[in-house]
Amino acid sequence: MTSASRLVLQRACWSFIALLLFGRCADGAELPTPEQIVAQAGKACESLKPAVKAGRQATIQERLESGLRQRAWQRLALARVNLGDFEGAVEALNQVNSDPRFSRISVQAMRTELTGIVPPWPDDLPTRLKETQKSVLADILRKQSRFDAALEMARDMTDERTRSLSTAQAYLARSRSLEKTDRLGALKDQVDATEAVKSIRDAPTYFKIYGEICRGQIRLGPPEVARIMIEAVSSKLKEAEGSSARADVIQEWARIGELFLLAGDDQGADRCFAHARELYGKTNPRKAWDESLPHQLTLHYRCHAYRENNQLASIPAVLAEWERAFSKLTDPEDIAFAAPYFIRHEIQSDRFDQASTVIQALEAGTQGIVVQKTAEDLKRGASSAQKARFARFVKGLHGENVDLHLPMLIVAAELFDSAGDSESADALIDEATAISRERKKDYRALIAGWLAENGRFQKCYDLIQPLDDPKQRAQALAELAFQMTSPKKPQSDAGQKPG
């Protein structure tokens, strides 16, 4: 037998063995059960060693790898919790926690999030750690609409600030849930939240929570009552301004201006915005207001309030002012912070030419960050047509640079998927996968993570199979394990191979 014949026979044998083991050959392996995927992820994660040795300063790359390692073990722990393997979840978290008690309270929180019921407390918890955990659990219960349980947990806290904050947040969340069905109940919870917030001495927290109370009153009405409350909080801020030189007080005045706009009081809003400008001039004499970040925020608050109140005709004039103000920004950090807000409002107003001009004028590094943040905001607050149009623009960015182009393809896919166009989303992911296989193999784990997160489990598993980097394989399998075991996470038919 010639060497060529032996090679052909050897390949045929391997194909037959693969068919027996996996039920598939050239098309990829059959998708295992969630339990099998979790087992594979556990074995793969064992290859993830700490990136930094004790006593040595970590490099940027090592810090990145350490973060990815921690995420993989956390995803594996969540998957094990989803399957009821709580001790296995603790073992996974012990790989990244120096104290096993942190692992146990983390699993307690995971179980609470999964079931809505707080499991028994771990033994021998220090009082301070238990108090911190109560705040975490109260937050989870509140987000699951288990308001009575959240309030009970909050009232059991010994620290006054934490107790008041958790109590106020629970009342506000329950009030929001009752606005359309039980107005009197919602108003009562508003009153109880107002009482709870009085005990908060931390100024930023106080004004943040009181602002949420005002927003609730604006939604419930009547506007006159909301305006009285907003006037009260502005008086409190004036008092705090006299006794404190906090840098964020200017932004708080701008936020109160937004509240006045939402309540239909344009004069009150103008007064607050003017005061914010006056304060900025006193504390920043060397920089003009038009070139400042607080000015950008006031423009954002104006656009947001007008959109919330359906005063769309008032937005173009604000955007025209914003275009002039944005062009005066010189600090790269200010530009990166303000640009996503500005671009989002341009797109929501169907001003795509203006939005694309702003994006294309940004530096390459800043551009990617801004596009990703803008896309996240648009997924929550834009029409399907606006998302799809922005996706078509994004997918064409940086076609000449694979390092910059691949992330843009994934962002565009997310936008298409959010717009209900799964076919276009899958086409872009297929394009990104092909590029990564040929030219940029270290992106495959990132793409696999997107596929898992968006329910394309079979395609994700097929992409994971040829991964030869142990770190990438572990990260991708851990993400797939978590997504497959998560409740209400059905596998998407989009892009799946026939059974």
Helix/strand/coil for 8: helix
pLDDT category of residue 441 using cuts at 50, 70 and 90: low
Residue 2 pLDDT: 43
How many residues in total does the chain contain? Answer: 499
Tell me, yes or no, whether 108 lies in a domain: yes
Residue 42 pLDDT: 97
Considering only 47-51, 212-216, 397-401, 431-435, which range has the smallest mean pLDDT?
47-51
Q: How far apart are CA 166 and CA 140, in angstroms?
A: 11
Residue 437 pLDDT: 83
Number of domains in the chain: 1
Considering only 54-58, 328-332, 428-432, which range has the smallest mean pLDDT?
54-58
Residue 18 pLDDT greater than 70, yes or no: no
CB proximity list for 171: less than 8 A, separation 6 or greater: 151, 189, 190, 192, 193, 196
**What mean pLDDT do residues 201-211 have?**
91
Residue 408 pLDDT: 95
Tell me, yes or no, whether 346 lies in a domain: no
Tell me, yes or no, whether 96 lies in a domain: yes
**What mean pLDDT do residues 48-62 have?**
70
Taking CA atoms, 210 is separated from 142, 190, 203, 229, 415, in Å, by 18, 10, 10, 9, 34
> Highest mean pLDDT: which of 199-213, 253-267, 429-443, 460-474?
253-267
Residue 157 pLDDT greater than 50, yes or no: yes
**What mean pLDDT do residues 465-484 have?**
94
pLDDT category of residue 54 using cuts at 50, 70 and 90: low
| Tokens matching residue 431 | 């394009």
Taking CA atoms, 113 is separated from 106, 144, 171, in Å, by 11, 8, 20
Residue 425 pLDDT: 97
**What mean pLDDT do residues 384-397 have?**
97
Residue 51 pLDDT: 60
Distance of CA 365 to the CA centre of its chain: 21
Tell me, yes or no, whether 313 lies in a domain: no
Considering only 177-181, 220-224, 314-318, which range has the smallest mean pLDDT?
220-224
**What mean pLDDT do residues 461-484 have?**
94
Q: How far apart are CA 242 and CA 469, in angstroms?
A: 59
Tell me, yes or no, whether 76 lies in a domain: yes
pLDDT category of residue 248 using cuts at 50, 70 and 90: confident
Residue 242 pLDDT: 72
Residue 23 pLDDT greater than 80, yes or no: no
CB proximity list for 42: less than 8 A, separation 6 or greater: 76, 80, 88, 92
Residue 63 pLDDT: 82
**What mean pLDDT do residues 247-274 have?**
94
Domain containing 479: what range?
A: 32-47+68-112+120-125+471-499
Provide, rounded to the nearest whole percent, the portion of the chain with pLDDT above 90.
Answer: 74
Tell me, yes or no, whether 427 lies in a domain: no
What are the pLDDT digits (tens) for 75-133? 999 999 999 999 999 999 999 999 999 999 999 999 999 999 999 998 888 999 999 99
Residue 40 pLDDT: 97
| Mean pLDDT of the chain, nearest integer | 89
Contact 240, 249 (CB under 8 A): yes
pLDDT category of residue 67 using cuts at 50, 70 and 90: confident
Tell me, yes or no, whether 277 lies in a domain: no
Burial 303-337 (b: 16+ CB within 10 A, else e): bbbbbeeeeeeebeebbeebbebbeebeeeeebbb
Contact 336, 317 (CB under 8 A): no
Considering only 10-24, 357-371, 462-476, which range has the smallest mean pLDDT?
10-24
**What mean pLDDT do residues 28-47 have?**
93
**What mean pLDDT do residues 251-265 have?**
96
Residue 22 pLDDT: 37
Q: How far apart are CA 210 and CA 193, in angstroms?
A: 9
What are the pLDDT digits (tens) for 326-348? 999 988 999 999 999 999 999 99
Contact 105, 116 (CB under 8 A): no
Residue 407 pLDDT greater than 50, yes or no: yes
Tell me, yes or no, whether 183 lies in a domain: no
Q: How far apart are CA 80 and CA 86, in angstroms?
A: 7
What are the pLDDT digits (tens) for 277-310? 999 998 888 889 999 999 999 999 999 999 999 9
Residue 440 pLDDT: 66
Residue 39 pLDDT greater than 80, yes or no: yes
Residue 272 pLDDT: 96
| Tokens matching residue 69 | 């390692």
Residue 493 pLDDT: 44
**What mean pLDDT do residues 219-236 have?**
94
